[in-house]
Structure formats: C-alpha cells, structure tokens
Structure 1
Amino acid sequence: MKAEPAAQARLLNLQDLDSELQVLAHRARTLPETAEAARLKERADQLETDLIAAQTKVSDVERQQRKAESDVDQVRVRADRDAKRLESGQITSGKELQNLQSEIASLGRRQAELEEVVLEVMERAEALDATVTRLAAEREEAIAKHTEVLARRDTAAAEIQWDRTRVTQDRERVAGEIPADLLALYDKLRGQYDGVGAAPLRYGRCGGCKLSLSTVELNEIRSHAADEVVRCEDCRRILVRTEESGLGGQAEQ
C-alpha cells in the first residue's frame, strides 16, 4: 500500500485522538462517583430494611406494653374491689376474712410483678425508639449524600461527553484527510491491537510494541520509498516514519 508521507503522518494525529477517546471512555466507565453512588444506595437500602425491622419491633413492644398495663389494671381493679369488701365490715367469717386478706396480699405481689414487666417493656420501647430515630437519621443522611454524589456523577459525565464530542469532531476532520484504503487498514489494525493501529518509528524503536528494530529491519525500511506504507514486523501495526526515526540519510517526514 502506498500513501503520501503527509497522509501517513496524519495517522499519528488520528491515533492520538483515538487514544484520547479510549481514555475518555474508560473515565466514563470508571467514574469514582458511580461506585460511591452504588455504595450509598446499598447503605440507604440496608438502613431502610433495618428501620422497617426496628419499627416492627416497636409495634410489637407497644402491644406488649398495652397488654402488661391492661394486666396491671385488671389486678388493681380486683385488689381495690377486695379491699373495699374487706373495709365494708360485711364479712364476719374469720376464714373468709383470712382468705380475702391472703388474696389481697397475693394480688399486691402480682401487681408489683406486672408493674416490673411494664417498666421493663417501657425501657425496651425507649431503646427501640432511639434506634428508630438513629436509623431514620442515618437513612436520610445516606439518601442526601446519594443525591449529592449522583449530581456530581452527572456533572462529570456531562463534561466527559463534551470532551468526547469535541474529540470525535476532530477525529472526523482528521480521518477525512486520510486516504480511504489507508484509513480502513488503520481501523482494522486498531480493532485487532488494543486500539492502536499506527505508531511512530523513533530512534529505531516501534512506538506500538516498544521494541527496537534490528539493523536488518531498519535497512529494509530505508529501502522503501517514502510513500510506501510499512509495518512493524513484531506487532504488525502501521509504522510511521518521523524525523526522529533513526534511519540515517533516508528522507523522513
């Protein structure tokens, strides 16, 4: 394949633009805000799950508290009723009087036990309320941070897209200055070799694979006309001769 030296040199400009597009694409895929937003979303979701679980426990404890308070009220009512009977003087039987006094004492002990239960349940309820308050605050904080990070991610993505648009336009302009057959070969090689289809020959070294060419290879390149498209024997990329190629007396671009 033949192409004017100037057209071959434009391949290096095109390669620089394509490499920049690759970098921009990588940046778009690996924005740190994307990973941070995912982490915050996961945390907010976990906090939501924990909050629902804590709220469910609060509801359960509230039912337990109402039940315990109801039990206390029932025992208190019964004890008050028995106390009034005792104080009325209507009971004349000694045995019945003794039984009533024993029942009042038993109800007193039962009431004390139930009141301890109520206190214990109330303490659990207070602790759970504090947990619900804390989880709700942490969830809101995570949601706020997630929203903030999403905004930063979108801003960064928009800036990258603006750069991609600019570089793409430059690429279209440069590609239009390269012969179609040379451009097709370059694009084919770029697809085969990690996005690099053309590389400069500088100081006897290929800029694509970074390997130094042998004396035999350099002499062969010297033998080619300036418009002959040459390729690296090692990586097979298009090798563009430059003023720093190290080819000695051969006319170089």
Structure 2
Amino acid sequence: MKADASRQWRLLDLAELDTRLDQITHRLRSSDEQRAVDAATRRRADIDTDLVLARTAVSDVDREVRRAEDEVQLVRDRLTRNQSRLDSGQGTAKDLQALQHEIASLQRRQSTLEDQELEVMERAEGHQATLDRLEARAAELEAELAETVSARDALVRTLEAEREQVTGRRGDVAGGVGEDLLALYTTIRESVGGVGAAALRQRRCEGCHMELNQVDLGRIRSAADDQVLRCEECRRILVRTPESGL
C-alpha cells in the first residue's frame, strides 16, 4: 500500500487520540470513584440487613413488654377487687380468710410478674439502643454514599465531555488519512488491541516496544517514503520519524 508521509503522520495523531479514548473508557469502567461507590453501597446494604434484624428484635420485645404489662395489670385488678371485698367485711369468716390467702398469693404473683416485666423492659431498652445506633450509622452511610455518587457522577460528566471533544478531533484527523489507510489501521487496531499504528524511534517500535533487527532496519531504509510499513513483531503500521535511528 502507498500513502504519502503526511497521511502516515496523521496515523500517529489518530493513535494518540485512540489511546486517550481507550483511557477514558477504562477510567469510566474502573475508576477509584466507582470503586468508592461500590464499597459504600456494600456497607449500606450490610447495615440494612442489620437494621432488619434490629427492628424485628425491637418489635418482638415490644410484644413481650405489652404482654408482661397486661399480665401485671390483670393481677393488680384482681388484687384491687379482692382487697375491696376484704375491706368491706362482707362474707363469712371462712370466705374472708380465703380472700386473705388469695391476696397474699396474688401479691407474690405480682412481684414475680413485675420482676419479669422489668427484665423485659431492660431488654427492650437494649434492643432500642442498638436500633438507634444502627439507624444513626445508616444515616452516616447514606450521606457517604451520596457523596461518593456525586464525586463519581462529576467524574463521568468530565470524562464524557472530554470523550466527546476527543471523538470530534479524531473525526477530523481520520478524514485526512484516507479510506484505504484508515481501513487498514482500523483492522489492525481491532486485531491487536490498542492502536493500529506506532512510531519508529531509536530503532524501536513504540507499539510493541521491540527493537528492530538489522534486517528489518535495512528493509525500512530501502523502502520508498510513501510505502506503508508494518512492524514484524506486532504487525502495526510503522511510521518513520526523524528519530527513527535509521
């Protein structure tokens, strides 16, 4: 293939722009900002799991508290009724004596139930304290997540704007390369990855960074200025420069 030197030099500009586009794509896919968002998202999800467990524990113990309160209240109500009957003095001596025994039994029962109620209430306070702590932490993590998302989105906007600008410049450069040379460049780029052309500097291909041997250098020296050359190692288009070392 033949292509004048200016068209071949444009390939180096094209390769530089393609390299930057590849860098932008990679940065968008795996930026520190995205990793920070992913980490914050995982921490937020973990705390959500803990919150579900903590809220369930609070709900369960609240039911225990209500049940304990109801049991204590039932005993208190019965004590009140029995005490009123005893204080009224109505009934036989045997009935009044039975009331006294029942009142004593109810008082013991009340004491036991109140101790149980206190224990349940203490557990309820502990579960509520845990829930409060987790909700506070969840709020912190939500703010952290919002901050990381904001930083990530700002980076994306910046990179997308640069990509649009570089893509526009690439179109201008590609237009001056010529369809045949551009087609070859594109085929090579798709085949080897990265860019499809590289400069020859100091007897080294800047695409694969391999130093050319004397046979290849001799072939390049004897080639016409408009001849499109290929690196024997990476098969990229090899563009001669004043620093080629020929």
Are positions 1:225 and 2:224 aligned together? yes
Match of 1:250?
A: none
Distance 2:212 2:37 in 1: 48
Can you give the 5+ residue segments of structure 1 that lack an aligned partner in the other structure? 248-253
Distance 1:33 1:204 in 2: 40
SS at match of 2:195: coil
What letter is aligned with 1:198?
A
Distance 1:5 1:120 in 2: 90
Moved more, 72-81 or 179-188: 72-81
Match of 2:10?
A: 10
Match of 1:78?
A: 78
Distance 2:83 2:178 in 1: 112
Instruction: Map Cα deviations across residues 187-230 of structure 1 (whole Å, 9 max, x no partner).
Output: 11011112221111112111111111111111111111111111
Are positions 1:129 and 2:128 aligned together? yes
Match of 2:233?
A: 234
Instruction: Map Cα deviations across residues 93-141 of structure 1 (whole Å, 9 max, x no partner).
Output: 46x5554433222211111110011111111121122222222222222
Match of 1:184?
A: 183
Q: Please list, as runs of the form range in 1=range in 2, the aligned pairs for 1:130-149 lying within 5 A after superposition.
A: 130-149=129-148
Are positions 1:45 and 2:48 aligned together? no
Match of 2:160?
A: 161
How much does 1:17 deviate? Answer: 0.8
Instruction: Map Cα deviations across residues 26-46 of structure 1 (whole Å, 9 max, x no partner).
Output: 111112222222332333333
Percent identity over the alignment is 49
RMSD in angstroms over aligned alpha carbons? 1.9
Instruction: Map Cα deviations across residues 56-91 of structure 1 (whole Å, 9 max, x no partner).
Output: 332222222122111112112222333344444445
What letter is aligned with 2:244?
S
Match of 2:35?
A: 35
Distance 2:162 2:54 in 1: 48
How much does 1:156 deviate? Answer: 0.7
Distance 1:234 1:47 in 2: 54
Contact 2:229 2:237 in 1 (8 A): yes
Distance 1:234 1:31 in 2: 32
Match of 2:65?
A: 65
Can you give the 5+ residue segments of structure 2 that lack an aligned partner in the other structure? none
SS at match of 1:212: coil
Distance 2:199 2:44 in 1: 51
What letter is aligned with 1:3?
A
Moved more, 140-149 or 212-221: 140-149
Match of 1:251?
A: none
What letter is aligned with 1:81?
R
How much does 1:21 deviate? Answer: 0.7
Distance 1:48 1:214 in 2: 63
What letter is aligned with 2:135?
A
Match of 1:118?
A: 117
Distance 1:48 1:133 in 2: 13
What letter is aligned with 1:224?
A
SS at match of 1:199: strand
Aligned length: 246
Are positions 1:197 and 2:185 aligned together? no
SS at match of 2:238: strand
State the TM-score, normalizing by the size of structure 2.
0.91
SS at match of 1:121: helix
What letter is aligned with 2:204?
R
